[in-house]
């Protein structure tokens, strides 16, 4: 399943692709209709390509259909096999990459997939109008994984070849079988090591044996509270990422910068990375201290240049 993707598609690349495919775009649309984002997750807004007259427009929609029941979750992926879509609202999601996650413990390993030889990809999706004042929403179609995704997940999103975009999105030309086609080779890159992936994790940022700190350039940084449930952790991480983006966007505006900085601090305190410690054995806080000046000095000195204990090879 895909619950996170990247939108770094450049406006120039998007326009060039649309022109090459002879797909019209509204003349009043600009790069503002294709906003950039490192991560677009469930319930976030993202730009969507859908039919508009004789062309294709970009419009913001929420990632995931609303729950069908009070106890249900958003429908962000939709199985494509054995279904007809000729009466569905079809759309495409422009993306520079999508992510899959592996591992049982947080943080999970994050794998970034891009389309080989292409500036960006388009993911086959469905959309629905929103209720009341809610925005329209989309869900991504999935299929059996190709050889590039299979080692990481038993499903993958449907990535269409550019020559199939028009047939999928044009409601006057239904092509049920188009969703069986997955475009080209996907390139995987480890974007973040997971807690279960001990070797990869230590090579990136060694963790102290008690899992309370990780080390960056010899300095200890407190890990988030492992007692947080997954849903709350994801909510706080999204809040932290949004606050960091606000800090970036507020450059040169003192009041906005201060407010965004306060939001970053609040999210980090809630995650347990700042403020009161999350353990209860009375151990002091060594956050932001150099490891060699703390009780972890002997452990840190025993790490080799890769961040692995010297006796682990």
Cα atoms in the Cβ-side hemisphere of radius 13 Å centred on 230:
5
* Domain termination residue (choose one: 159, 192, 225): 192
Residue 254 makes CB contacts below 8 A (sequence gap 6+) with none
* Domain termination residue (choose one: 144, 166, 192): 192
pLDDT of residue 184: 67
18 with 86, same domain: the answer is yes
Q: Is the pLDDT of residue 201 over 70?
A: no
The count of other CB atoms within 10 Å of the CB of residue 300 is 17
Domain count for the chain, please give it. 2
Tell me: the pLDDT tens digits for 155-179? 999 998 888 898 888 855 555 444 5
249 with 224, same domain: the answer is yes
**Angle, in degrees to the nearest 10, between helices 254-271 and 230-249:** 160
Q: What is the pTM of this model?
A: 0.63
User: Average of pLDDT values for 245-257?
Assistant: 87
Which candidate, 225, 256, 263, places its Cα nearest to that of 242? 263
| Domain span holding position 25 | 4-192
User: Average of pLDDT values for 19-35?
Assistant: 91
Q: What single DSSP character describes residue 158?
A: -
């Amino acid at each position: 399943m895909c619950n996170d993707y990247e939108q770094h598609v450049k406006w120039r690349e998007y326009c060039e692709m649309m022109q090459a495919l002879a797909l019209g775009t509204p003349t009043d649309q600009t790069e503002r209709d294709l906003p950039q984002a490192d991560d677009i997750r469930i319930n976030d807004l993202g730009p969507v390509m859908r039919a508009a007259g004789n062309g294709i427009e970009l419009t913001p929609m929420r990632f995931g259909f609303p729950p069908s029941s009070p106890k249900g979750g958003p429908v962000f992926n939709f199985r494509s096999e054995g279904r007809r879509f000729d009466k569905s609202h079809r759309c495409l999601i422009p993306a520079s990459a999508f992510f899959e996650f592996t591992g049982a413990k947080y943080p999970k390993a994050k794998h970034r997939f891009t389309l080989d030889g292409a500036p960006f990809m388009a993911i086959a999706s469905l959309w629905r109008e929103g209720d009341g004042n809610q925005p329209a929403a989309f869900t991504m179609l999935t299929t059996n994984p190709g050889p590039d995704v299979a080692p990481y997940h038993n499903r993958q999103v449907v990535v269409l070849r550019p020559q199939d975009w028009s047939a999928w999105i044009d409601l006057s030309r239904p092509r049920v079988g188009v969703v069986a086609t997955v475009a080209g080779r996907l390139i995987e890159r480890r974007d973040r090591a997971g807690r279960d992936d001990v070797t990869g994790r230590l090579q990136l940022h060694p963790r102290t044996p008690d899992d309370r700190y990780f080390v960056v350039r010899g300095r200890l940084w407190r890990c988030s509270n492992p007692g947080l449930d997954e849903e709350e952790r994801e909510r706080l991480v999204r809040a932290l990422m949004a606050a960091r983006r606000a800090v970036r966007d507020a450059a040169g505006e003192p009041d906005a910068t201060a407010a965004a900085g306060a939001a970053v601090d609040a999210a980090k305190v809630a995650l347990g990375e700042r403020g009161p410690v999350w353990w209860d054995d009375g151990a002091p806080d060594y956050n932001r201290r150099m490891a060699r000046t703390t009780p972890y000095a002997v452990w840190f000195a025993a790490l080799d240049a890769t961040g692995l204990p010297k006796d682990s090879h």
